[in-house]
């Protein structure tokens, strides 16, 4: 599914974010930027341990903040580590919104044209996919509408399971 906001598209697909053909992928990170399981584990396995080494050297960060590292062996050139939770592995809507917004701001700072997001907070954070979809898509739409000449032309939500994909598609469809 594709929705257009100005010159940019918001898209969904089911798949493995570590294989996304975009300029940057977003990692659902903790605030110490250690890469464990889930999205972080997939990115580290596919891209190499140098991604985690670089990320950890930039942490710890505030929950909601985002930092950029190289992409190692990933198809994406960059990884944006969005700290959606602390060491307690708990998250909420506010943390997801702030992490999404800050990831988009880091993308803008680098002039990134395409970025892939996972469903932030829905793995080890245990946040409901429907609420994550609402928070993330609302933040992306708001960001794109505020930018007068955004470099960002494509926001892709790469979702690992059918139920999470359905939640994001329902929310994106509702934005039309």
What's the mean pLDDT in 145-168? 91
Q: How many CA atoms lie within 13 A of 166 on its CB side?
A: 4
pLDDT exceeds cutoff 60 at 39? yes
What's the whole-model pTM score? 0.95
Contact 174, 141 (CB under 8 A): no
Nearest-angstrom CA–CA distance, 116 and 150: 16
| Domain parsing of the chain, residue ranges | 2-174
Cα–Cα distances in angstroms (integers) from residue 49 to residues 6, 9, 13, 70, 93, in the given order: 37, 32, 26, 11, 30
* Statement: 2-174 belongs to CATH 3.40.50.720: no
Hey, CA dihedral for 92, 97, 100, 106, is it positive or negative? negative
Mean pLDDT of the chain: 94
- CA 69: distance to chain centroid? 14
- Banded pLDDT at 176 (limits 50, 70, 90): very low
Please say if the pLDDT value at position 7 is more than 50: yes
pLDDT digits (tens, 9 = 90+) for 67-119: 999 999 999 999 999 999 998 989 999 999 999 999 999 999 999 999 999 99
Q: What per-residue confidence (pLDDT) applies to 174?
A: 80
- d(CA 167, CA 155) in angstroms, rounded, equals 16
């Amino acid at each position: 599914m594709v929705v257009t906001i100005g010159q940019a598209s918001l898209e969904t697909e089911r798949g493995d974010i570590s294989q996304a053909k975009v300029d940057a992928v977003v990692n659902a990170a903790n605030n110490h930027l250690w890469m464990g399981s889930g999205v972080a584990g997939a990115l580290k396995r596919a891209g190499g341990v140098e991604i985690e080494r670089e990320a950890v050297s930039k942490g710890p960060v505030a929950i909601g903040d985002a930092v950029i590292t190289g992409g190692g062996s990933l198809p994406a050139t960059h990884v944006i580590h969005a700290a959606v939770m602390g060491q307690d592995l708990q998250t909420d809507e506010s943390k997801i919104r702030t992490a999404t917004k800050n990831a988009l701001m880091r993308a803008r700072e680098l002039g990134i044209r395409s970025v892939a997001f996972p469903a932030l907070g829905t793995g080890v954070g245990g946040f409901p996919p429907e609420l994550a979809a609402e928070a993330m898509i609302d933040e992306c739409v708001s960001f794109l509408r505020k930018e007068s000449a955004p470099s960002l032309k494509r926001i892709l939500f790469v979702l690992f399971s059918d139920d999470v994909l359905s939640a994001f598609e329902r929310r994106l469809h509702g934005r039309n």
